Amino acid sequence: MNEQISEQEINAAGHLTVGGCDTIELAKQYGTPLVVYDVAKIRDQIRRFRKVFEKNNVDYAVSYASKAFAAVAIYQVAAAEGAHVDVVSAGELYTAIKAGFPMERVSFHGNNKSKEELEMAIRHHVGVIMLDNFHEIDLLADLLEAADAKIKVMLRITPGISAHTNKYIQTGQVDSKFGFDLASGQADLALEKVLANPRMEMEGLHAHIGSQIFELAGFEGVANKLVEVASHWQEKYGYQARVINVGGGFGIRYVSGDHPLMPEDFVDAIIKAIKQAIASTDLAMPAIWIEPGRSIVGPAGYNLYTVGSRKDVPGLKPYVTVDGGMGDNIRPALYQAEYETVLASDPHAPIKEHVRLAGKYCESGDILSQDQGLPATKPGDVLAMLDTGAYGYSMASNYNRNPRPAVVFAENGQSQVVIERESLDDLVHLDLPYHAQ
């Protein structure tokens, strides 16, 4: 019995449904590999985050970290749900623009934004630029001067807090490429530069400690640290921070050993920590911003695959191979990330064997799961990998010149393609013949 699937998600035929749509039918209609999102789950997650702030009566923004999954359709849903978004590239910004996302609700992140990216942000009046380093402050100053424009900014601080998570997705420790260092005085210097520039409106401060975090301590720590810095800035410069942004990183459950807190618990703890810390300063209560990515789209996503070949060697765990793999989900190969996979036609079928779920890419490391319990499967069976909605499609590649899958949104029993499957022609679309000189 897979605990990640509720009874409501199984239909009368016994099949797994997503957004009220039968996954076997979705696989038939759109082909596999296929990424399917349950849109109601995305909406619900945003609403849950918002509700906690509203209940606590604090000014806030829930800024969806769109690197987790960026597409016109998701920016539309985020807009409709009253979320802000965080973008980290011209590409994400462009997609948000195409979706008609309100630009004043966009935060632009990145540790090496290009001149072109900053110009684009100024031209489109994005809500806030998250300043990450001195080079960027100078570059932005020049561009604002040239455009005779003003923009809101926040300073990203390296809080010196190590989150307990995979080292590739830790970002808050002192030795990090992101943000201004505190101990060496860089953060103060950055503030001085910003305050001296009348074209930059200083909104507040930001930190992000990492991703897939299960403990409150890191968030409480970052909340305290940011209030401490804000209070120091008020004393030293008379500057009052309007926003404290504690980043994202709220962990989700992928496999039965994962025991994440509820989104409410994370936000409650952050609000409490900030309120408490503020009480012992002269600061007015700032707005609190969070930037969840994974927790908004992760649990809403499902990857559907079709079983193909199989390899059995006596004494070894069998390989069951599907029609996708590291090109549509690099996370198992890159981070040893684990997922649960079920037979879409009978998700609660008793487990008959433990297999290696292999991808079709020409690389031994292309194993989607090292140990997946499954009922007996045969070629043509559809498998549904659960909780794939964050950093799956967004990190997809064309390795081996495999086309990236289609993405479908499902809600209220209706389904709709929101990103088309790449065609073979799409794969050669940018190729040019070489004329030997």
Binding site for ligand LLP (CB under 6 A): 65, 67-68, 86, 109, 169, 171, 208, 211-212, 247-250, 291-295, 331, 335, 390-391
Q: How far apart are CA 14 and CA 142, in angstroms?
A: 62
**Closest separation in Å from C-beta 154 to ligand LLP:** 11
Distance CA 222, CA 59 (A): 18
**Residue count of the chain:** 437
190, with CB counted inside 10 A (0-12, 13-18, 19+), is buried
Nearer to ligand LLP, 44 or 192 (CB): 44
Q: Which of 235, 233, 270, 230 is nearest to 249 (CA)?
A: 270
Which residue lies nearer to ligand LLP by CB, 249 or 286?
249
User: With respect to ligand LLP, which residue has the nearer C-beta, 2 or 171?
Assistant: 171
Active-site residue flag, 362: yes
Name the DSSP class of 156.
E
CB 174 within 8 A of CB 134: no
Q: How far is the CB of 249 from ligand LLP (least distance, A)?
A: 4
Q: Are 83 and 46 in contact (CB under 8 A)?
A: yes
Question: Tokens in use for 3?
Answer: 């605990």
Catalytic site residue from 13, 146, 262, 362: 362
Cα 39 versus chain centre, distance: 15
Minimum distance of ligand LLP from residue 124's CB (angstroms)? 20
Alpha-carbon distance of 252 to 392, in angstroms, equals 14
Asked if omega into 405 is within 30° of 0 (cis), the reply is no
CB of 158 to ligand LLP, least distance (A): 12
> How many other β-carbons are positioned within 10 Å of the β-carbon of residue 382?
23
The nearer residue to ligand LLP, 23 or 388, going by C-beta atoms, is: 388
Structure tokens at 340: 């649960």
C-alpha span between 401 and 258 (Å, rounded): 34
Kindly tell me which of 22 and 81 has the beta carbon lying closer to ligand LLP. Answer: 81
Least distance CB 431 / ligand LLP (angstroms)? 28
Please give the sequence-ordered ranges of beta strands (E in DSSP) within 312-401, or none if there are none: 319-322, 341-343, 353-358, 367-374, 382-386
* 318, 353 Cβ separation under 8 angstroms: yes
Q: Which is nearer to ligand LLP, 94 or 335 (CB)?
A: 335
In the complex, minimum distance from the CB of residue 55 to ligand LLP, in angstroms, rounded to a whole number = 21
Residue pair 165/210 in contact by the 8 Å Cβ criterion? yes
Complex with ligand LLP: residue 159 or 347, whichever CB lies closer: 159
Q: Closest separation between CB of residue 330 and ligand LLP, Å?
A: 8
Integer Cα distance of 287 and 41 in angstroms: 26
CA–CA distance, 187 with 181 (Å, rounded to integer): 6
Instruction: Tell me which residues are annotated as active site.
Output: 362
